[in-house]
Amino acid sequence: MSLSDAAFPAARPRRLRSTPAWRRLAAETRVNPAQLVLPLFIAEGASEPRPISSMPGVVQHTADSLRVELALAAAAGIGGVMLFGVPEHKDAIGSGATDPAGILNVATRIAAAEVGDALVVQTDLCLDEFTDHGHCGVLDARGRVDNDATLERYREMALAQAQSGSALLGLSGMMDGQVAAVRAALDGAGRSDVALLGYAAKYASAFYGPFREAVQSSLEGDRRTYQLDPANRREGAREIALDVAESADVVMVKPAMSYLDVLADAAAVSPVPVWAYQVSGEYSMVEAAAAQGWIDRERAIDETLTSIVRAGADAVLTYWAIEAAERWTHA
């Protein structure tokens, strides 16, 4: 067939990419500000916001700066905020996590009062920020994380966070049976209104490094006995199915970009929303490369968020939530 033949080629996909207007109209994946959740760190005893050196642009907040950030988040139209507490004092069982005067519970009350009607106020339900050993649970006599003893602490944390005003508890500790245990505790206390986010497929990733600085982690060793092996895809699907069976309202894949296959698997079968966490290392890599002039920062941010939603995420936890939402709104 001659190239001059009018019928060659009959299929011309480039027609739908020929102008910005066409590309906008033909886009298969769209990310809305309401799909974004902003993680926030609140430091006990801080007199001013503390920059996190490995996460440029992210800080440990004071109560006052938290209020400012919450107002910006609500004005940007994002979906919610996920709160992490950074306590001054830690102990073996993470007592600060269940103390009504503990930093996370105080921050939750602030967030619920300031933006509880505009945003879904969410809290990290895990002990790692509060324990002096840095693990996500309590340890047994041999120094191992005791799954069932940890569930007792999670039940207590759930009631404390619900009382403080959290609408969604982020179960990030990866203990077996954590969703069922917390659901039973909440329902038994008459708090069936509080939703649960199961960090179902949370992998033992190298991309959490900057987060350890953000929460001033005391961790020695690693968390490979309870977080998933990065090599395992079917195991992620199994964990997601278990959390759904235990009545998780939402399930999570974490990290996001290195686990898009796991995310797509979950999205294909889950009867509940599937979220993904664009973790600290993903954020810091883009920021570091952009600072060197190696990549276009804004395009990289948008491309990463689009890829996560394209893979099946209904919402994304991202440190760029406010920035991205404001830019898209004014584009």
Q: Which residues are catalytic?
A: 202, 254
Give the type of residue at 173. G
With a CB cutoff of 8 Å and minimum separation 6, the contacts of 256 are 263, 276, 277, 278, 279, 282, 304, 308, 313, 316
In sign, the C-alpha dihedral spanning 87, 191, 273, 34 is negative
CA–CA distances in Å: residue 272 to residues 118, 197, 205, 243, 266: 22, 10, 25, 10, 10
How far apart are the C-alpha atoms of 195 and 186, rounded to whole Å?
A: 9
Residue pointed to by tokens 């009062």: 113
With a CB cutoff of 8 Å and minimum separation 6, the contacts of 147 are 137, 175, 176, 177, 226
Contact predicate 243/266, CB 8 Å:
no
Burial of 140 by CB count in 10 Å (0-12 exposed, 13-18 middle, 19+ buried)? exposed
Helix (H) or strand (E) holding 67: helix 63-76
Instruction: Count CB-CB contacts under 10 A for residue 134.
Output: 19
How far apart are the C-alpha atoms of 82 and 222, rounded to whole Å?
A: 24
Structural tokens at position 161? 């966070």
| Secondary structure class of 141 (helix, strand, coil) | coil
Structural tokens at position 182? 């917390």
Helix (H) or strand (E) holding 291: helix 280-291
